[in-house]
Structure 1
């Protein structure tokens, strides 16, 4: 049984269908990357999977439990899914350490000393422990993303969701973050990542889910999608002729 099982997921906004029957599995310890043209539903898919957006229909099973059911414990689900947002989503009035400990204290009801110990462990893992007392305004984009990843990891999630983790960064900072995510990949952290960054996709993924007009058009290893794919839409997206 896969950790995450998505079946025929549909999301509409009014008359517009953004996700149209999306189906895939994510195994524990696996990394999959979601790619596709702008507006194809990539970020909406992530938000539906942890119920930040309500799916219109379909099934999302996490660790065998149906998460689209009215009785599903959405709060418990979100504690099992670490979400690293494109814009970092750090609280500007809190220090780096307080940003990482906040959910530990408020959601997990962890004692302050234990929360700090876990936070510092994850900040060290992201090479950010020396910035514990800094505020987000003083951090670079790459440093902010490291703190956001540390905050997600501190909750000990079963899976990490990344939404365009390098898009707000300059090329040098982006490559640093790619290296950090690759470290997690090599540690068999379960990851689902939305990105337009082909370098990141090649570097960290077991496979790429190619989304087009709300549908899964293909799912395959990066090298197969890049090597002159027979589907002209996929070939065009990756800059290759069919």
Structure 2
């Protein structure tokens, strides 16, 4: 059984379908990337999957449970889905360590010492233990993203969602984050990543879903879609990305 199964997912705003019949499967330990042009619904998809948004119709099956049911415990669901935001979403008045321990104490009810131990484990995993007492303003963009990933991992989620994880970073820092995601993949962490970063998808050699007009227009290995694809829309999109244009906006 897949970790996550999505069938005929629809999300409408003012009568317009932003998502129009999305089907998606994510296996345990798999990394899958979602790409597509600006406004195609990529970020909306992530927000529907962790129920930040309530879809108009369709099914989301998470570990065998239909989480679109009205009686779904959305708070419990979100504790099983780690979400790494584009802008890091760190609390500026808290240190790196405090940012990671906050959810453990408030949501999991851990004692301060136990939460700190767990947080330090994940900060070490992200090579950020030496920066544990620094505030976000004292960290680089890449370091902030590592803290955000450590915070998500500390909650021991079943899957990590990344929303444009490299878009707020310069190229060098973006490569660092790509390396981190690659290590998580080798550790068999289940991940779904929305990105405009062609280098990320290509470097990780993962399966890519191409969204356009609210629908999955193609799915395949990265090199299959980045090559001379038979569909002119897909070919044009990735040609633009290779040429340095706007690969995939939100």
Same fold (TM over 0.5): yes
Residue matched to 1:91 = 91
Residue matched to 2:244 = none
1:152-171 counterparts in 2 under 5 A?
152-171=152-171
Residue matched to 2:214 = 214
SS at match of 1:181: helix
SS at match of 2:239: coil
- Paired with 1:145 and 1:20, the residues of 2 have a C-alpha distance of 31
Residue matched to 1:107 = 107
- Paired with 1:188 and 1:205, the residues of 2 have a C-alpha distance of 14
SS at match of 2:22: strand
Contact 1:32 1:205 in 2 (8 A): no
Query: Offset at 1:33?
Result: 0.1
Count of aligned pairs? 240
Any stretches of 5+ residues in structure 2 without a counterpart? 241-250
Residue matched to 1:200 = 200
Query: Offset at 1:57?
Result: 0.6
- Paired with 2:97 and 2:206, the residues of 1 have a C-alpha distance of 33
Residue matched to 1:121 = 121
- Paired with 1:8 and 1:16, the residues of 2 have a C-alpha distance of 16
Contact 1:31 1:205 in 2 (8 A): no
Q: CA offsets, 1:39-62, max 9 Å, x none?
A: 100000000000011111100010
Query: Offset at 1:92?
Result: 0.7
Contact 1:33 1:205 in 2 (8 A): no
Contact 1:210 1:217 in 2 (8 A): yes
Q: CA offsets, 1:12-45, max 9 Å, x none?
A: 1112211000001100001100000011000000
Contact 2:205 2:223 in 1 (8 A): no
Residue matched to 1:179 = 179
SS at match of 1:152: helix
TM-score under structure 2 normalisation? Answer: 0.94
Residue matched to 1:73 = 73
- Paired with 2:111 and 2:140, the residues of 1 have a C-alpha distance of 30
Query: Offset at 1:132?
Result: 0.9
Q: CA offsets, 1:160-194, max 9 Å, x none?
A: 00000000000010001111111101111100000
Matched, 1:16 2:28: no
SS at match of 1:238: helix
Query: Offset at 1:205?
Result: 4.7
CA RMSD of aligned residues (A): 0.9
Matched, 1:27 2:27: yes
Residue matched to 2:140 = 140
Residue matched to 2:38 = 38
Any stretches of 5+ residues in structure 1 without a counterpart? none
TM-score under structure 1 normalisation? Answer: 0.97
Residue matched to 1:60 = 60
- Paired with 2:10 and 2:123, the residues of 1 have a C-alpha distance of 37
Query: Offset at 1:226?
Result: 1.5
